[in-house]
């Protein structure tokens, strides 16, 4: 049998897994909705990026569920389990950054709209952005998180492996740490925190520059994104401080609320 009896599964971990399965189902529904009901009818890249955002987030969450709940229960050698854990962690991290790339694609279209007039002034000094320059900026915004995702995929195990995994599965490896945390994960955490600040800030900037329905939509998007990544960060925080009941319930519920807010933000005019 590939899976043994789920000996590690506790009451709270079962609740946590169930809530994340709900999140995965909701993410796949949002992907289908925005792809078929928005992009299919408008053919706008904005909605294509937005739909694939939810697909990548759902894929990353499915892999993380395997990482946290199923792979440790597999009937393999300790070395094989440790190797599989590292592979799934890298893969889940890659899809998470592809989701961030879609966020940046959405922002690129909003900040540098392709349909804007070529001669429109982009600053008080009279500097103009040509359509080609706007295209380059949009591509660069997306390529940065994609590059980070592939960097995580190719990062050495000594920079990514959790010391607890090395101890539990008897892996003989020198793990490079920063304040006791794997250096690679620490760097990725800093980068996620940076993007968590940048993306909502840019939505708030767009809200300040607009009025009416658009302003409210941008503000709700900013709030939704902040809550989504707050939920992800709290999952790790509660785990470090040993609060399994909070870790199992608070982060996934915050993520569900964040997804609901983002849906409302992008259907605000229809819901008025």
% of the chain exceeding 70 in pLDDT: 90
Report pTM.
0.88
**pLDDT band (50, 70, 90) for residue 272:** very low
Q: CA 59 → CA 23, 63, 96, 115, 267, distances in Å?
A: 11, 6, 8, 32, 24
In a domain, 78, yes or no: yes
In a domain, 91, yes or no: yes
In a domain, 243, yes or no: no
In a domain, 248, yes or no: no
- pLDDT digits over 145-156, tens only? 999 999 999 999
Average pLDDT over residues 229-258: 86
Answer yes or no: is pLDDT of 124 > 70.
Answer: no
Task: Say if residues 239 and 13 touch (Cβ distance below 8 Å).
Answer: no
In a domain, 171, yes or no: yes
CA distance 80 to 271: 51
In a domain, 82, yes or no: yes
Which pLDDT value is given to residue 1? 45
**pLDDT band (50, 70, 90) for residue 114:** confident
In a domain, 203, yes or no: no
Which pLDDT value is given to residue 220? 92
Which pLDDT value is given to residue 89? 95
In a domain, 3, yes or no: no
CA distance 102 to 99: 5
Answer yes or no: is pLDDT of 116 > 80.
Answer: no
Residues of the domain holding 71: 11-197
Spatial CB neighbours of 150, under 8 Å, sequence gap ≥ 6: 94
Instruction: Give strand pairing partners of 220.
Output: none
> Of 133-142, 172-181, 260-269, which has the strongest mean pLDDT?
133-142
**pLDDT band (50, 70, 90) for residue 13:** confident
Give how many domains the chain has, as a whole number.
1
């Amino acid at each position: 049998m590939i899976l043994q009896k789920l000996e590690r599964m506790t009451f709270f971990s079962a609740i946590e897994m169930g809530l994340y399965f709900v999140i995965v189902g909701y993410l796949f529904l949002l992907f289908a909705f925005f792809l078929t009901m928005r992009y299919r009818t408008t053919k706008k890249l904005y909605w294509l990026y937005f739909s694939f955002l939810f697909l990548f987030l759902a894929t990353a969450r499915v892999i993380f569920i395997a990482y946290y709940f199923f792979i440790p229960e597999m009937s393999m050698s300790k070395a094989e389990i440790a190797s599989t854990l590292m592979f799934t962690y890298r893969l889940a991290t890659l899809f998470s950054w592809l989701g961030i790339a879609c966020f940046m694609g959405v922002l690129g279209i909003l900040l540098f709209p392709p349909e804007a007039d070529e001669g429109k002034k982009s600053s008080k000094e009279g500097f103009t952005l040509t359509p080609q320059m706007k295209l380059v900026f949009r591509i660069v915004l997306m390529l940065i998180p994609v590059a980070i995702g592939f960097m995580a995929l190719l990062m050495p195990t000594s920079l990514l492996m959790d010391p607890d995994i090395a101890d539990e599965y008897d892996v003989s490896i020198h793990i490079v740490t920063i304040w006791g945390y794997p250096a690679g994960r620490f760097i990725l955490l800093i980068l996620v925190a940076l993007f968590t600040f940048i993306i909502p800030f840019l939505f708030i900037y767009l809200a300040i520059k607009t009025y009416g329905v658009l302003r409210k939509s941008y503000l709700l998007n900013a709030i939704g994104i902040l809550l989504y990544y707050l939920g992800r960060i709290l999952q790790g925080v509660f785990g470090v401080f040993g609060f399994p009941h909070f870790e199992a319930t608070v982060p996934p519920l915050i993520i569900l609320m964040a997804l609901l807010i983002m849906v409302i933000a992008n259907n605000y005019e229809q819901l008025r």
